[in-house]
Structures are given as C-alpha cells and as structure tokens.
Structure 1
Amino acid sequence: MTGTVPDLKEQAKKKAAVAAVDEHVKDGMILGVGSGSTIVYAVERLVERVEQEKLKVVCIPTSFQAHQLIVQNKLLLGSLDTTPILDCAIDGADEVDSDLTLIKGGGGCQTQEKIVASCARKLVIVADYTKDSKTLGEQYKKIPIEIIPLSHVPVSLKISDRFGGKTQLRMGKMKAGPVVSDNGNFIIDWFFPEGITDWKSVHEYIKLIPGVVETGLFVNMAEMAYFGLSDGSVKTVTK
C-alpha cells in the first residue's frame, strides 16, 4: 500500500493539468506558464499538443522553474517586455476556496505569478483534490508574503497585531539562512487564525505595509479551476 496516496494525487494533478491545457490552449496564443508540481504535467501536455498539432504558442514564465521547463522542452519562450498582454495563464495553487480566492506562494513565486496573471485575459487554476476547500484555511494554514529583507520584523509584528496568528521567516532546507525568492527577497509565512472571511481587505491592508512586496492572496483573479479527483475524474469550478 506504500505510495498509494501520493500516486493518486499525482494522477489527479495530471488529469487536471491535461484538461485545462486541452480546453484553453489554442494555436497562436500567448500563454502564461505557472509554477509548481502540477504545472509540470501541464507543460508535458502542452509539448504533446505542440508536436502533434503544430501549435505555435508563446510561453511567458512565472518563475525560474517555469523558465527552465519552457527552455528544456524547447517551447517558444517569450517575455512581458515583448508580449505584455496574455491570452491565458495556467497556474497551480496551494488552496482554492468556493469563491476562487487562492492561496499561492508555497514555492515562493507568488509575486511573479501574480504579475503574469494580472496580464492575462483569464487565469486558469489546476490542482488536485486536496487544494479544493469551501473556505481558506481548511487544508492550508498559512499565507506566504514576499518582503524586503530588512522589513521582516516590523512587517511580521504589524500583521500579527492587526489580525492575530503568528508569522515565521521561511528558512532554507538545503542552505543556511532564509529562503531567497527569485527577486532576491525574503518570504514570511503568516499562520492566520480561524474566522477570517474578507480576504480582499486582508490583502489590501498587508500590501500597504512598507516592506511588503506581494501577498500570496489572489482575490478575484481566477476565472476557472480544474481539480483532479481521486476517482480519476476532473471537477471544474467557474467564477
């Protein structure tokens, strides 16, 4: 029985990713390519379609990982400098509530992910069944916040004083010291208390704290989410 649950989750991720790529990617598109484990399957499916259907798709990465996936798979790499308006962005999430409010940033890429998503006509989320919640916090208990390094103590205090919970500077696992984002900044994880529902106001308050670069709250940004289920089917949720 060892490995059964992880295998189900990986199959679910792949199902969601394939469904989203098949439904939303069309020839001639400018496509935002997200970050994380589920996006690997989306890129695999995109490569298959490019080869089989001779699609021409320009891919805009949201992180160093996404950049490498695009390059290694010989997809057409673009940038926001040359194509600042995207047809679609496909990305993952750490948790999605019933309003399609997202928590992102488990991989530390939320700032670039949000920039790319904001340039896209639609943001499509792909995830497995463990990311699907009625309210945020059911399964994922923290919100990642990218900050300027010297601000981590005052930012942490201001968030805890205003909303409660606790904050923690994210530390590296294979390096000494804090995790450093693709932008050269630190990330704090805010373990928020129960009962918060107005995530738009929370995001707006935190974003205005000096030193905060971006929060992992994506409010009113996603148009659709695909959740791969444990039985092999795919659940879709639309705005």
Structure 2
Amino acid sequence: MNDKELVAHQALQYVSENMIVGLGTGSTANFFIDALAKRNKEEKLNVRAVSSSVVSMMKAKEAGLPLLSMDQIKEIDLYIDGADEITPDLTLLKGRGYDLVREKLLARSAKKFIVIADESKIVKNIGDNFPIPSEVHPFAWELVKNVLMKKGTGDIRINAAKDGYAITSCGNFVLDFNFAEKTSEALNNLLSLTPGIVEHGIFYNLAHGALISHNGNVREIWRS
C-alpha cells in the first residue's frame, strides 16, 4: 500500500453510519472513494455521497456509492479531499482542476472537513509551489486581470489542447497568479473582495484537520 492509499484508508475512521460524505477529486481522493464504497457495502453503513466534480461523481458511481446532488442537501457530515498545498495552519491551495465552486461549497457546508495528502504537499506559504487560481466570469476576466496585475503576475489559463481558454465546470475562466504577498489571510481577503472573481483556490479557515502520509506513516494536524 503506497502513501496515498494509506492516508485514504486512514480517513475511513471518521466515517460512521448514515453519514452524508463529500467526495473530493484526484488520485488520493480516488483511493478514498474506493475504500469508502467497499466499507459501505460490507458494513451496510447506509452512507450517501456528494461529489465535488463530474470526475468524482463518475468514480463514485463506478464504485457503487449512492449519490445525492447538491440541490438535495443543506449540509454534509464529512468532506474528504486532497489539496495542492497545505500550510502548517491548514490553509489549503486547491483549484488546479476546474471545480473550485463545488469544492468550496462542500468545504463550507461540512461539519468536518479533513484533507488527505502526502508530505510533498506541505509548504510554508500558500503559493510556494503553484500559482493561485481564481475562477472569473468570462466577461470580467480582463478587468480582474488588470486589478490583480497591481499585486502580482499571472495570466488566463489555457486549456490542455492549447487551442483556447480553460473552462471550469461552471462555465467560467481561470486566472493563475503569483503574488509577492504570502500571508494567507491577506491573500484570501484580496481575492474574496475583488469583483468578478466567482471563487478562488485559497481555502482559509475551512479545513478542520489533515492526515499527512510519509514513508508508510500517517500524522494528524488539527486546527486549534
């Protein structure tokens, strides 16, 4: 069992009967989905799931997990997802995919949000390894870019085929920016208060805990 599988299985200890569980997206989250589906079937837990993306929805269906749509819920019991970066105070960077709005909705509505990752995702400051993504209205991206250029450097994200702009699952564009400012709270406020930004990749004061794997061991970090 590799480190990603190990930490995904460790997260199962926080699942109990009749829970509504939010499912993240990515390789580590996929291991959790498979493990959850297996345990749900074997132990008859009556767990239902809500996906953060089309990808995780398809994975959950394939694994046999009962699914709810977001318009069927008011809150969820547990959200398990990965992250691109994790700081010691549990600020997360997410959004290298295209589902920021759905991911943050689940994070905010969860009674408990636990991030699962390997040690490589731990950083000192948000933005150390990756630019910070902001999902923007298509009609506003140039205006938003002009505002953000006063604070950092970046551009609109190009799609994988490199023949146009990347489009999120909500039909928006993405700006990827690096900033001189490194304080999580200041960056969160800057992006949250910029008109035209639908959502951004800084998950500030949202994760309750993290399970971090390294060389066959898992350590826990909890927000005080």
Task: In structure 1, list runs of 5 or more residues that go unmatched.
Answer: 1-9
Find the aligned partners of 1:135 and 1:11 in 2 and give their Cα distance.
Answer: 27
The reply to whether residue 14 of structure 1 matches residue 5 of structure 2 is: yes
Which residue is 2:216 aligned to?
232
Q: How far did residue 110 of structure 1 move?
A: 1.6
Find the aligned partners of 1:73 and 1:48 in 2 and give their Cα distance.
Answer: 8
Residues 12 and 129 in structure 1, CA contact (< 8 A), matched pair in contact too: no
The reply to whether residue 81 of structure 1 matches residue 66 of structure 2 is: no
Find the aligned partners of 1:215 and 1:87 in 2 and give their Cα distance.
Answer: 23
The reply to whether residue 154 of structure 1 matches residue 140 of structure 2 is: no
Q: How far did residue 141 of structure 1 move?
A: 2.8
Find the aligned partners of 1:176 and 1:32 in 2 and give their Cα distance.
Answer: 33
Find the aligned partners of 1:132 and 1:214 in 2 and give their Cα distance.
Answer: 23
Find the aligned partners of 1:31 and 1:88 in 2 and give their Cα distance.
Answer: 5
Residue 108 (structure 1) aligned to one of 86, 95, 98: 98
Q: How far did residue 202 of structure 1 move?
A: 2.0
Q: After superposition, where does 1:1-239 map in structure 2 within 5 Å?
A: 11-20=2-11, 22-138=12-128, 140-161=129-150, 163-164=151-152, 166-174=153-161, 176-193=163-180, 196-197=182-183, 199-229=184-214, 231-239=215-223
Residues 14 and 228 in structure 1, CA contact (< 8 A), matched pair in contact too: no
Find the aligned partners of 1:68 and 1:33 in 2 and give their Cα distance.
Answer: 11
In structure 2, do the counterparts of structure 1 residues 38 and 93 end up closer, same or farther at CA, with 3 Å as the change threshold? same
Q: How far did residue 51 of structure 1 move?
A: 2.2
Residues 133 and 174 in structure 2, CA contact (< 8 A), matched pair in contact too: yes
Residues 13 and 227 in structure 1, CA contact (< 8 A), matched pair in contact too: no
Normalized per residue, the structure richer in strand is 2
Question: What secondary structure sits across from 2:45 in the alignment?
Answer: coil
CA RMSD of aligned residues (A): 1.5
Q: Aligned AA for 1:17? A: A
Q: How far did residue 175 of structure 1 move?
A: 5.9
Q: Aligned AA for 1:222? A: A
Task: In structure 2, list runs of 5 or more residues that go unmatched.
Answer: none
Normalising by structure 2, report the TM-score. 0.94
Normalising by structure 1, report the TM-score. 0.88
Q: How far did residue 136 of structure 1 move?
A: 2.3
Find the aligned partners of 1:89 and 1:111 in 2 and give their Cα distance.
Answer: 15
Find the aligned partners of 1:157 and 1:175 in 2 and give their Cα distance.
Answer: 23
Could you give the per-residue CA deviations for residues 154-187 of structure 1, whole angstroms, max 9, x where no partner exists? 11121120x22x1121111136201110001111
Q: How far did residue 124 of structure 1 move?
A: 0.5
Residues 108 and 144 in structure 1, CA contact (< 8 A), matched pair in contact too: no
Find the aligned partners of 2:138 and 2:57 in 1 and give their Cα distance.
Answer: 25
